[in-house]
Structures are given as structure tokens and as C-alpha cells.
């Protein structure tokens, strides 16, 4: 998990930022990116792709990363902007925002397969980077823990969709609630089947308003 970082450090680079996003697939909620500069003198055991870890392990590691990393940050891109610019561009924007929020300017950025054309800081896109780079894995963990906590809060504000459990992903229960309850303010209107439900809802509202 440290090979990419070790290679960069051997050339004299110290501040290496890993960046990753979570939340491309959900029908609801923001995409959240994490950016982390780990301390090479204080390695954290157990960092891996956040998808491979249990929720309890992610939460434990997120605390350690936030306490022991040289710098970390998260950034959100919200549903309306995802609908406006598409999820791929929104993911890239969230990553760049997270990097810019760091208290230390990175000397090199490692991304999870996301190219950053024209970006002013040297960077490397690594396929499956969250499983191959400790820095990217750490970024995926802090982003995942933060987004999951946000969706638990959204479950209290928009009950009935099961956001605390499904985190906005299209589970059978979420899809059933979407059909029964219609869309809510944090649904991504450009995603199917949200778009179809929203169009049907709009049509019924228009028909109901006619004399």
C-alpha cells in the first residue's frame, strides 16, 4: 500500500496527497471527496480500500487518520450540481475542492483513476488506487465515513427512504419507497429511476391543478 508513496519520497517529495471520492452510484445525496497527506513517520496500520472494510473498521481508522495525518480535508458537491454537470465532473470537482482545503500544499497528488487535466500540481491517476495506495485508501475512508454520517442525518430529515441503511444507493427498499413517496429534495433528478418518478409526479401535479 506504500509503494507509490515510497517511490515519490525517494525522489525527495514529502507532501504526497491521496484523493478519492465516494457516492457516484447513489440516487440521493452528495458526492464527497477526501484528501489526505499521511505522515511517513507515523504509519497507520490497516488502511485499505474503504469498500473492503467494515463500518466499525472505517470509523476507527478515520479517527486515526484525522488525528495522525499531516493534513486531511473533505469536500461535497451537491445533488443539483451533480444533475447539472454530471457525476463524473462532480467527482473531479469534489476532489479538487478537497485538495484545495488542505492546510498543507501537496507536492504530488495521487488519485483513484481520476485524471486531473491542466491541474497545477503534479499528479498520478492510479487504477484501483484505493487498494494500492495508502494515501488514496485513507482518503476513501474519511470520505466514506463522512458521507455515511451525513446520510444518517438525512434519514431523520427525510424519513421513509431508509437513508440511514442504504446511504442513498438503489436498494429494493429505497426503490419501493421512491415509488410510494415520490422524490425528496436530496434525490438526484438526472438519475433513473428518480427522473421517471419525478416526471410522473410532475404530470400528476399539473393534471390536478387544471380546472
| Direct distance between the N- and C-terminal alpha carbons of the chain, in angstroms, rounded to an integer | 66
In this structure, are strands 31-37 and 123-126 parallel, antiparallel, or unpaired?
Answer: unpaired
pTM given for the model: 0.92
Nearest 5 degrees, angle CA 146-CA 151-CA 156?
130
Q: Is residue 190 part of a domain?
A: no
Per-residue confidence (pLDDT) for residue 205, from 0 to 100: 59
- Tens digits of pLDDT across the chain (211 residues): 789 999 999 999 999 999 999 999 999 999 999 999 999 999 999 998 898 999 999 999 999 999 999 999 999 999 999 999 999 999 999 999 999 999 999 999 999 999 999 999 999 999 999 889 999 999 999 999 999 999 999 999 999 999 999 999 999 999 999 999 999 999 999 999 999 998 887 666 555 555 5
Per-residue confidence (pLDDT) for residue 156, from 0 to 100: 98
Per-residue confidence (pLDDT) for residue 210, from 0 to 100: 53
- The 3 state secondary structure assigned to 127-186 is CCHHHHCHHHHHHHHHHHHHHHHHHHHHHHHCCCCCHHHHCCCCCHHHHHHHHHHCCCCC
- Whole-angstrom Cα distance, residue 74 to residue 182? 30
Q: Could you tell me the residue range of the domain that residue 132 belongs to?
A: 3-159
Q: Is residue 187 part of a domain?
A: no
Q: Is residue 35 part of a domain?
A: yes
Q: Is residue 117 part of a domain?
A: yes
Q: Is residue 12 part of a domain?
A: yes
Q: How many CA atoms lie less than 13 Å away from 56 in the CB half-sphere? A: 0
Q: How many domains does the chain have?
A: 1
Q: Is residue 32 part of a domain?
A: yes
- Whole-angstrom Cα distance, residue 40 to residue 113? 23
State the angle between helix axes of 134-157 and 3-10 in degrees (0 to 180), rounded to the nearest 10.
130
Three cell numbers, residue 144: 466514506
- Whole-angstrom Cα distance, residue 131 to residue 92? 19
Q: Read off the CATH number of the domain in which 92 is found.
A: 3.30.420.10
Q: Is residue 57 part of a domain?
A: yes
- Whole-angstrom Cα distance, residue 64 to residue 166? 25
Sequence-ordered strand ranges (E) for the chain = 16-22, 31-37, 71-77, 108-112, 123-126
Per-residue confidence (pLDDT) for residue 201, from 0 to 100: 75
Q: Is residue 180 part of a domain?
A: no
Amino acid at each position: 500500500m506504500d509503494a507509490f508513496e515510497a517511490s515519490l519520497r525517494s525522489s525527495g517529495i514529502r507532501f504526497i496527497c491521496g484523493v478519492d471520492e465516494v457516492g457516484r452510484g447513489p440516487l440521493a445525496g452528495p458526492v464527497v471527496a477526501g484528501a489526505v497527506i499521511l505522515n511517513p513517520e507515523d504509519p497507520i496500520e490497516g488502511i485499505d480500500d474503504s469498500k473492503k472494510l467494515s463500518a466499525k473498521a472505517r470509523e476507527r481508522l478515520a479517527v486515526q487518520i484525522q488525528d495522525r495525518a499531516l493534513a486531511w480535508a473533505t469536500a461535497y458537491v451537491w445533488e443539483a450540481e451533480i444533475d447539472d454537470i454530471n457525476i463524473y465532473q462532480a467527482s473531479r470537482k469534489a476532489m479538487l475542492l478537497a485538495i484545495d482545503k488542505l492546510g498543507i500544499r501537496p507536492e504530488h497528488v495521487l488519485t483513484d483513476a481520476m485524471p486531473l487535466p491542466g491541474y497545477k500540481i503534479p499528479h498520478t491517476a492510479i487504477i484501483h488506487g484505493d487498494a494500492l495506495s495508502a494515501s488514496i485508501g485513507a482518503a476513501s475512508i474519511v470520505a466514506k465515513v463522512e458521507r455515511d454520517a451525513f446520510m444518517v442525518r438525512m434519514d431523520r430529515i427525510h424519513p421513509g427512504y431508509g437513508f440511514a441503511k442504504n446511504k442513498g444507493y438503489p436498494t429494493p427498499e429505497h426503490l419501493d419507497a421512491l415509488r410510494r413517496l415520490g422524490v425528496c429534495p436530496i434525490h438526484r433528478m438526472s438519475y433513473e429511476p428518480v427522473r421517471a418518478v419525478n416526471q410522473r409526479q410532475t404530470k400528476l401535479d399539473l393534471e390536478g391543478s387544471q380546472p
